[in-house]
Amino acid sequence: MSFPAHITVLYFAAASTTLGITDELVPIPEKGLYLSQLTELLIERHSQSSLNALRKILDSSQWSIDAEMVDDEDLTKVELKDGMEVAVICPVSGG
């Protein structure tokens, strides 16, 4: 099955250090994939990495789409679409 749509996923901090990358283009189905399902998709894509570490990081992270934070309770309601910029927002430590 080929996916015609793509999202850009941005990684920062611990997520980027664990994966060794800061961003990637991820193929997704044109419809029917929700933000709440992205963690599993990313873990499948990176099955050669340290899965426990990646899962732990993704489970403790929040998400943003096109530079807007998504509330945790809305993850199952937000459908991923072609061209979206999705960022993994690990617990922050500014200031």
Tell me whether residue 13 or residue 41 sits nearer to another protein (CB atom): 13
With CB under 8 A as the contact rule, which of the stretches 7-15, 25-33, 46-54, 71-79 interacts with another protein?
Answer: 7-15
Q: Which residues contact 28 (CB under 8 A, 6 or more apart)?
A: 3, 5, 6, 7, 41, 80, 82
Question: One symbol per residue from 44 to 83: x for binding another protein (CB under 8 A), - otherwise; what is it?
Answer: --------------------x--xxx--------------
- Does 93 engage in binding with another protein (CB under 8 A)? yes
CA distances from 3 to 28, 40, 42, 88, 92 (A): 5, 16, 15, 22, 33
